[in-house]
Structure 1
Amino acid sequence: MKTIKNITLGALVLLLSSCTSTVKFPISSITPAAVISAKMKHDKNKNNLIEINASNLASPDRLNPPKDNYVVWVVTKENGTKNVGLLTNKNAKKSSLNTTTPFEVEEIFITAEEKGNLSYPSGIEISRINF
């Protein structure tokens, strides 16, 4: 009986973890100390849940030229490039973004921008990944 419970629990954990894709962003020449990763999974409505975590990401006002925000963008198959939000700084070492999008995501990239509510990227690209 105990063995059946352990096998069932192991299968459940494996099933749940297989639904999540985790990718690390390449090292950026703009912010080389930053370690950035993205997790993406689907919810029950087939939306994409995206979680971006960054550690040691320099404040955007320390860039050359200085900027005000880090904006996260997704490149979609049918809807082009979309702004999905800002990386918020939790403390001096960690920044994050949790967001949901109905679009089928092909790429995620981060830019440093002067404004956060832009419709298209115009600032310095920090890093980019493909899903």
Structure 2
Amino acid sequence: MQNFITKRIIRNSVLGILSIFLGLSFVSCTKQIAFQNSAVVPAARGTIHVKRDANKNYVIGVNILDLAEVNRLTPPKKTYVVWMLTEQSETKNIGQINSETKMFSKKLKANFETVSSEKPIQVFITAEDDGSTQYPGEVLVLTTNKF
């Protein structure tokens, strides 16, 4: 009798834990969007991750590989700036990309993450001389389709 009760408790505990994990996976659904191929930096490729947090804000993450150093572009620039187009058709500067080159690594990596109260419908990256500019310049490096 005791063996039956123990098995039942274990089974119910496992089912409860699985239900929690399944529920969390639905709550934290992440939308992943790929960048289109770039004419400015053809080797660059990357993705955008957009998800809602507990405060109903949008967490926007950018991961890029093989992104050329910004000073090697023609013409050379100072920084890469990440922009988003909102549902209200506003273009907003949401930050600069920090790129990293590791010793003995052949890949140039760039990562960026920010939080916005507004829903993005498109994300794009430009090369700029000033990271705090309020309007995107002409050097469009990477862009997504509208999502």
Q: Say whether the fold is shared (TM-score over 0.5).
A: yes
Residue 29 of structure 1 is matched in structure 2 by: 39
Cα distance in structure 2, aligned partners of 1:63 and 1:71: 14
- Work out whether residues 114 and 123 of structure 1, in 8 Å CA contact, stay in contact via their aligned partners in 2: no
3-state DSSP of counterpart to 2:23? helix
- Which of 74, 82, 101 is 2:84 aligned to? 74
Shift of 1:123: 3.3
Q: How does 1:1-131 map to 2 (within 5 A)?
A: 1=11, 4-5=15-16, 7-8=18-19, 11-12=22-23, 14-17=25-28, 19-78=29-88, 80-91=90-101, 93-129=108-144, 130-131=146-147
Deviations 1:103-123 (A, max 9, x none): 121110000111100001013
Give the unaligned 5+ runs of structure 1. none
Runs ≥4 residues deviating over 4 A: none
Structure (1 or 2) with the greater helix fraction: 2
Give the unaligned 5+ runs of structure 2. 1-10, 103-107
Shift of 1:126: 1.0
- Work out whether residues 72 and 87 of structure 1, in 8 Å CA contact, stay in contact via their aligned partners in 2: yes
Query: Structure 1 stretch 90-99 or stretch 6-15: which is displaced more?
Result: 6-15
Structure with max Cα Rg: 2
Which residue identity does 1:106 align to in structure 2?
A: I
User: Equivalent pairs: percent with the same residue?
Assistant: 32
Residue 7 of structure 2 is matched in structure 1 by: none
Alpha carbon RMSD of aligned pairs, Å?
Answer: 1.8
Deviations 1:32-87 (A, max 9, x none): 11111110111122111101011110001111111111100001122610000011
Structure (1 or 2) with the greater strand fraction: 1
Q: CA 1:101–1:89 in 2, change beyond 3 Å: closer, same or farther? A: same
- The number of equivalent residue pairs is 130
What TM-score do the two structures reach when normalised by structure 1?
0.88
What TM-score do the two structures reach when normalised by structure 2?
0.79
